[in-house]
Chain A
């Protein structure tokens, strides 16, 4: 075992020794040991620090804004915490913004509509993505990578550009319309733009890879002999799919569905570009509150409520993942 180190291993060992002997490194690692910070704490700590800085702190700021009052000026809200006569800290919490969300049916409808659109889009993605992922997973190894690349290829173009492209494809002068007109199937061009259908097309198109990839990863791992065993015990292929493949791919279905559902709920660009004035989604309401109404407190309350709405599925996702790890242990 001793003689196994090749030249590269020897080089690495030498490099490591050199770094250890290097003054600043020694000083830094000694100081960190004094504070009780080892290598492991550092590796776990950095992402947590990142999340603290760029997720928790902004969240607290938005939460604080959601509790304040509107005012004209810069910033467009009253401070929540302020010094009164330089002696007392005055905290003015205004829950009216949240109450407003419940009072005005616009917000409730926007939330419900967002969830409906996201749920239907997720289901459509699953119906299209499952056969696609299954097909790719069962293709020979030489073709598989090419097919996967094709699934991921749209990511190489800007998301915004791809949504804009759909405006051309769904409009009155689209190639589809021209084809259908020339074939005589329709006599009036159909425009899908500014309809819910266009929003669904846009979301399903944009988020399909997020469904296909986790499903593929799951289906590709599946042991084919399980299906042979099922067939051997008298199970027909369709039934084998329903009793073996489908339950075993559940973690992939859940992962893919959440990856589509969560961003789709808050989607802003697609309904704004493809949807009509009545396709109300919470992302659009949020935008309008912030930039058109300049009502930052209500907009922040909308954002916080949306976050809470999404935390539930995220927790469920975590739970499902933990369970999956348990099964495959």
Chain B
């Protein structure tokens, strides 16, 4: 191959020849009897924004701290840029970290905080001044250069922390819940700023977050963690549309999960009978599971159509129920529909037209409705 295909450059993980920038191999971390990280293997490529996503206590921060060098793996190895990091202390790693609490030095000004990393490397004073000024300009903090951290707002502190961790131009930046302490509006704004900055500077980001929305917006790939293990790695759309387990399906977004039995298993489709649904799913993808195995069908709320009329087509992928709850959220509405089996199904529908204009035709409480979905929408998971 003379030159990599364009998508291989954008999605280096698809290129088997690509050299990972960070290679984590079978890393385990134990604190006493407690296993915080268990047999994690990952490859992270240059220029990626890789998000470690999981609930609190799932081991994602421990994994990040092992990359930074604050913790040593109990087993396994970590390579960064081809160098084995075993036994290398944090102050000798080509890595910088942005801490969840920001960890700004309270006795130093913004300028001194940002300059700290360069001072450690013995960079000449004039150059430090120049680079700090440029960095403060980049994060729009120039007017605050002389202030102490306690005189800044949360958003400004976050930008100081970011500037301080970027000043040494690290090849790999670790971010621990970078937007956790910001309010919602500021968070959305900062998310896009972070992505822009990352593209501008060409740094590889490893981000730890428990916020799936944050992971979806930031990440080139997401690694979902649960109980110290990586359960799925993929692009945000992979993770959302093709979860590989009930845990992932349930963790990312909201989902209707139905337990069922595999009654037909062909290479290009499966049919699942689900007692809770009171019907059958016809799913247009194959599953590698023995016949009559118990499987779970995951169906996203936005992929279900709700209507008064009986949909055309055969018996699969449709069911009748009664509207139990409606929540109007402005941009969309959530319907909870109770099926004959007693199971409640969640459906979200975008409010394409203004509500007042269509009040007569609007579906309302206690109405009998039909739910239907496309054969490509449900996902069958076996674990």
- Taking CB atoms, residues of chain B closer than 8 Å to A247 are 107
Q: Please, which residues of chain A bring their CB within 8 A of the CB of B165?
A: 232-233
B120 near A235 (CB under 8 angstroms)? yes
Given contacts A231-B90, A235-B120, A236-B91, contact A223 B164 (CB under 8 A): no
Of A225, A236, A248, A328, which one neighbours B99 at CB under 8 angstroms? A225
Residue A40 CB within 8 A of the other chain: no
- Of B89, B90, B101, B106, which one neighbours A248 at CB under 8 angstroms? B106
Q: Which residues of the other chain, A, contact B92 by a CB distance below 8 angstroms?
A: 234
Contact of B103 among A226, A236, A239 (CB under 8 A): A226
Q: Are A234 and B99 in contact (CB under 8 A)?
A: no
Known contacts A233-B168, A234-B168, A247-B107; is A228 also within 8 Å of B120 by CB?
A: no
How many Å from the CB of B146 to the closest CB on chain A? Answer: 15
Given contacts A225-B99, A228-B70, contact A233 B117 (CB under 8 A): yes
Q: A167 within 8 Å of B by Cβ?
A: no
Interface size on A, residues (CB 8 A): 19
Which chain A residues lie closer than 8 Å to B168 at the CB level? 233-234
- The distance from the CB of B31 to the nearest CB of chain A, in whole angstroms, is 13
Q: Is B24 in contact with chain A by the CB < 8 A criterion? A: no
Q: Which of B99-134 contact A (CB under 8 A)?
A: 99, 101, 103-107, 116-117, 120-121
Question: By DSSP majority rule, is chain A's interface helix, strand, loop, or mixed?
Answer: helix
Q: Are B116 and A228 in contact (CB under 8 A)?
A: no
Establish whether residues A231 and B91, one from each chain, have CB atoms under 8 Å apart when the complex forms. Answer: yes
Q: Which chain A residues in 224-252 approach chain B with CB under 8 Å?
A: 225-226, 228-236, 239, 244, 247-248
Q: Which of A229, A231, A233, A244 contacts B89 (CB 8 A)?
A: A231
Given A228-B99, A228-B103, A244-B105, check contact A234 B121 (CB 8 Å). yes
> Is there contact, CB below 8 Å, between A235 and B116?
yes
Q: State whether A327 and B120 are in contact (beta carbons under 8 Å apart), knowing that A231-B90, A233-B164, A235-B91 are contacts in the complex.
A: no
**Does B106 lie within 8 Å of A327, measured CB to CB?**
yes
Q: Which of chain A's residues have a CB closer than 8 A to the CB of B208?
A: none
Question: How many whole Å from B47's CB to the nearest CB in chain A?
Answer: 21
With an 8 A cutoff between CB atoms, is B78 at the interface?
no
- With A231-B89, A233-B168, A234-B121 known as contacts, the answer to whether A226 contacts B150 (CB < 8 A) is no
Per-residue 0/1 for A318-329: is the Cβ within 8 Å of any B Cβ (1 yes, 0 no)? 000000000111
B62 at the interface (CB under 8 A from A): no
Check if B97 is an interface residue, CB within 8 A of chain A. Answer: yes
A229 to B105: give the CA distance in the assembly, Å: 9
Q: Is the CB of A228 within 8 A of B90?
A: yes
Q: Is the CB of B107 within 8 A of A248?
A: yes
User: Is the CB–CB distance between B107 and A229 below 8 Å?
Assistant: no
Interface centre among A228, A236, A247 (most CB of B within 10 A): A228
Do B91 and A232 have beta carbons less than 8 Å apart?
Answer: yes
Nearest CB on B from A223, distance (A): 7
Across the interface, do A327 and B107 meet the contact criterion of CB distance under 8 Å? yes
Alpha-carbon distance A230/B104, docked complex (angstroms): 10
Cross-chain contact B68 with A232 (CB below 8 angstroms): yes
What B residues does A327 contact at CB under 8 A?
106-107, 148, 150
Instruction: Tell me, yes or no, whether B96 is within 8 Å of chain A by CB.
Output: yes
Q: Which residue of A lies closest to B167 (CB)?
A: A233
> Given the complex of chains A and B, what is the CA–CA distance between A235 and B103 in angstroms?
14
A 291-329 to B, binary, CB cutoff 8 A, 1 in contact else 0: 000000000000000000000000000000000000111
Q: Is the CB of B105 within 8 A of A226?
A: yes
Instruction: Write the nearest CB–CB distance from B222 to chain A, whole angstroms.
Output: 24
A225, B103: Cβ atoms closer than 8 Å: yes
Let me know if B68 and A239 touch, CB within 8 A: no
A-B contact pairs, 13 of them (CB 8 A): A225-B101, A228-B90, A229-B97, A230-B116, A232-B95, A232-B97, A232-B165, A233-B168, A234-B91, A234-B168, A235-B120, A328-B106, A328-B150
B positions within 8 Å CB-CB of A: 68-70, 89-92, 95-97, 99, 101, 103-107, 116-117, 120-121, 148, 150, 164-165, 168
Q: A234-B92, A248-B107 are in contact. List 6 more A-B contacts (CB 8 A).
A: A229-B103, A232-B90, A232-B165, A234-B117, A235-B120, A236-B91
CB-CB nearest 6 A-B residue pairs: A233-B117, A234-B120, A229-B103, A231-B90, A225-B103, A231-B91
